[in-house]
Amino acid sequence: MWKYIRQYLFFAVIAGLFMIGEVMMDIIQPGIMSRIVDDGVLGVNNGGAPNLRLIWMLGLQMIGLVLLGGLCGSLNNVFVHISSQNIGNEIRKDCFCRIMDFSFPQLDRFGTGSLVTRVTNDITQVQTFVSLFVRGMIRTSLLTFGSMYFMFRLNLKFGLIVLCAFPFLVGVIVWCLWKANPLFSSLQAQLDSINAIMQEDVSGIRIIKACVREAYEKRRFGKANDELIKTQLKTLVIFAFMNPLTNALMYVVVTVILLAGSFEAGKGSTTPGIIMAAITYTTQLLNGILMLVMLFQNISRGVTSWKRVKEVLNSRPELMDGSFDGVTKVQGEIEFRDVSFSYPGSSQRVLSNINLTIHKGETVAIMGTTGCGKTTLASLIPRFYDADTGTVLVDGIDVRKYQQKALREKIAVAMQKSELFSMTVGENIAWGMPGAESTALKSVASIAQADSFISSMEEGYGTAVAERGMSLSGGQKQRISIARAVLKPAEIFIFDDSTSALDLKTEADLYQALKKSHPDSTKIIIAQRIASVRTADRIVVLENGSISACGTHEELLKSCRTYQDICHSQIGEEAECA
Ligand SMILES: Nc1ncnc2c1ncn2[C@@H]1O[C@H](COP(=O)(O)OP(=O)(O)OP(=O)(O)O)[C@@H](O)[C@H]1O
Ligand SMILES: [Mg+2]
């Protein structure tokens, strides 16, 4: 935290100084008021004769002090906000950068909802914590201890009466904070759930409507919200009891001071003005303590949030970079050496003893039933995850030895789920290679069989794409994603089921064009349709995470039962298969 505070310490210190000014004005006033009453109105030291001139003079002095106090207060506010907003801004930027550097296992572990809460709500809590700390802590502690000091100066007995009330107040406060603290952690975790449901449901609203599951999702969201409110209410109830308790204590102290004051006044050792000032100081002091409690409440919440933000900030990428810069003699060779893999935190083995070598320029297809581990196998090549045992080599070098950036520069991926951004079609294609020439965009779009549909759009490559590609069809999105991958000067291309929405002819034309334009690149095609893979140099059949067969279409038709089954199950191709 110090790292961030240090940068804006100057503003925080200035804010603190203005705060001292504001509080000083508050503390001086009861003293002046007591003089107005005793010397101005009652004429205690003047044989009971009121002094109008003194009332005017002290009254104007008081107004001046109020104005000066107000100015100090406003300036304090300005500087507090400058420091807290900037500190929040720096933390938010750092958090975002850290998340961008996260490895896939970390992203899986934190979850999107939680990361969003941490970068938004949690950082706002930290921001509030900083501003309350700078403003509130200084104000309340100065007010409390200043009032206490002046109280003792006015009358020792009055000071002692207030001091006696202290342990009770502290007891009430500590009890409330002890009860509320665990609830703050639950509150933030519940906010995580709400954010996760919000994201899922807003992005998946179409499928929710299609399946008529609105009522179910409303209930799910409602339930998460109810839980949040329940916890929030619990904390509010705790603090709701605290206010009347501390208020009651304040009035007890005021009454005792009045009783002691009347006794002292009778003896002539105090004056009505001093009793008035003592009561004002008591109110100020106890109000100060009340504010301190509110502060503690917010600060406890801020500390809980800060812990959650710190978890993000302190997380180092789990997959550490190697030192190899990626310059190799061979280019486009992949080898899986006895690779096994399970997802972090899961005991289920997704890949078992994979041994496979893919040569430069080869087109290798990976087939298999859904969930058998095709995407997982491909994701080990750009090192999205590390294998549990065995080694994945790219161009003869273990992927763990590469600088991740250098490794990923060799590989272009069109993911199973096309990810488009809310920018133009052209910008989406050029997204991985900013500054690419328009001719290059057109050329890769032609390879991806996308040029004709893009050109036929009113604004062509300048057509805006709606958020997450909502304004495009599934096949159009896939082709733009492929064009984006092909634009990258990569050695290895991975197409993960990325032509599944294309008709057979468009798909065949796409692979044909790709073969022609990138004859020396290695291509990995993950697909479910025989038509997509039959022209590949080799087809790997995956079954429950193991390679059950590998060969050309013709070889597999003769030797692999699973492949024959897949082939025969694809109606319309049966005749061709045979
Ligand atoms: N991030 C993840 N965390 C935990 N388990 C996962 C994760 N991703 C996938 N799995 C599990 O790993 C197994 C293999 O998944 P994978 O995505 O590799 O299958 P696939 O062959 O690509 O399937 P499909 O044809 O449906 O795309 C599945 O059982 C899946 O539940
Ligand atoms: Mg997959």
376 within ligand 1 shell (Cβ under 6 A): yes
Domain-embedded: residue 513: yes
Place of tokens 């193991």: 546
- Any domain includes 321: no
What does the alpha-carbon distance between residue 458 and residue 154 come to, in Å, rounded to a whole number? 83
Do 465 and 421 contact (CB within 8 A), yes or no?
A: yes
Q: Which ligand sits closest to the CA of 341?
A: 1
- Give the single-character DSSP code of 456: T
339 lines ligand 1 (CB under 6 A): no
Which residue's alpha carbon is nearest to atom 30 within ligand 1?
Answer: 371
CATH of the domain at 521: 3.40.50.300
Q: Does 147 reside within a domain?
A: yes
Domain count, the chain: 3
Whether the CB-CB separation of 363 and 370 falls below 8 Å is answered with: no
Q: Indicate if 365 and 251 belong to the same structural domain.
A: no
Q: Which amino acid is at 447?
A: I
Two structure tokens written together for 218: 């409303």
DSSP 463: P
Q: Where do we find the tokens 């100065």?
A: 142
Is the CB of 370 within 6 Å of ligand 1? yes
Whether residues 462 and 527 share a domain: the answer is: no
**How high is the pLDDT of residue 571?**
56
User: Would you say 305 and 129 are in contact if contact means Cβ atoms under 8 Å apart?
Assistant: yes
| Ligand 1 atom nearest to 346, measured from its CA | 4
Q: CB of 347 closer than 6 A to ligand 1?
A: no
Q: Indicate the residue among 455, 489, 523 that finishes a domain.
A: 489
- Which residue's CA is minimally distant from atom 4 of ligand 1? 343
The answer to whether residues 177 and 300 touch, using CB atoms and an 8 Å cutoff, is yes
Residue having the nearest C-alpha atom to atom 25 of ligand 1: 370
Let me know: does 535 contact 511? Beta carbons within 8 Å. yes
Same domain, 576 and 432: no
What is the bridge-based pairing of β-strands 363-368 and 538-543?
parallel
Across the strands, what pairs with 496? Answer: 526
Residues 331 and 463 in one domain: no
- d(CA 18, CA 76) in angstroms, rounded, equals 5
DSSP 8-state symbol, 440: H
Backbone φ and ψ for 473, nearest 5 degrees, come out as -80, 165
Which residue ranges in the chain fall short of pLDDT 70? 571-578
Q: How far is the CA of 295 from the centre of ligand 1 (A)?
A: 47
d(C-alpha 552, C-alpha 507), whole Å: 19
- Tens-place pLDDT, residues 48-69: 788 889 999 999 999 999 999 9
- Judgement on whether residues 347 and 458 belong to the same structural domain of the protein: no
Among 474, 552, 484, which Cα is nearest to 506's? 474
164 Cα to the center of ligand 1, angstroms: 66
Question: Which residue segment(s) compose the domain that 435 sits in?
Answer: 418-489
Sheet holding 411-414, edge to edge: 411-414, 492-496, 522-526, 363-368, 538-543, 546-551
Q: Tokens 């893009």 appear where?
A: 454
Q: Are residues 150 and 249 in the same domain?
A: yes
What is the 376 CA–ligand 2 centroid distance (Å)?
Answer: 7
Is residue 398 located within the same domain as residue 529?
Answer: yes
**Alpha-carbon span 505 to 143, nearest angstrom:** 80
**Do 463 and 520 fall into the same domain?**
no
Q: Are residues 448 and 570 in the same domain?
A: no
Same domain, 156 and 217: yes
Q: Whose CA is nearest to atom 6 of ligand 1?
A: 343
CB-ligand 1 contact for 452 (6 Å cutoff):
no
376 Cα: distance to centroid of ligand 1 (angstroms): 6
Partnered with residue 365 across adjacent β-strands are 525, 539
- 96 Cα to the center of ligand 1, angstroms: 27
Res 574: pLDDT: 46
Q: How far is the CA of 524 from the centre of ligand 1 (A)?
A: 17
Residue 318 belongs to a domain: no
Last residue of a domain, one of 313, 341, 368: 313
Asked if residues 567 and 557 have their Cβ atoms less than 8 Å apart, the reply is yes
Residues 119 and 181 in one domain: yes
In a shared domain, residues 305 and 331 = no
Q: Look at residues 418, 429, 485, 484 and name the one whose alpha carbon lies nearest to residue 461.
A: 429
Residue 373 Cβ inside 6 Å of ligand 1? The answer reads yes
Cα-to-centroid distance, 350 and ligand 1 (Å):
8
Residue 319 falls within a domain, yes or no? no
Nearest ligand (C-alpha, residue 351): 1
Q: pLDDT tens digits, residue range 350-379? A: 999 999 999 999 999 999 988 999 999 999
Burial of 16 (0-12, 13-18, 19+ CB in 10 A): buried
| 320, part of any domain | no
The pLDDT assigned to 50 comes to 83
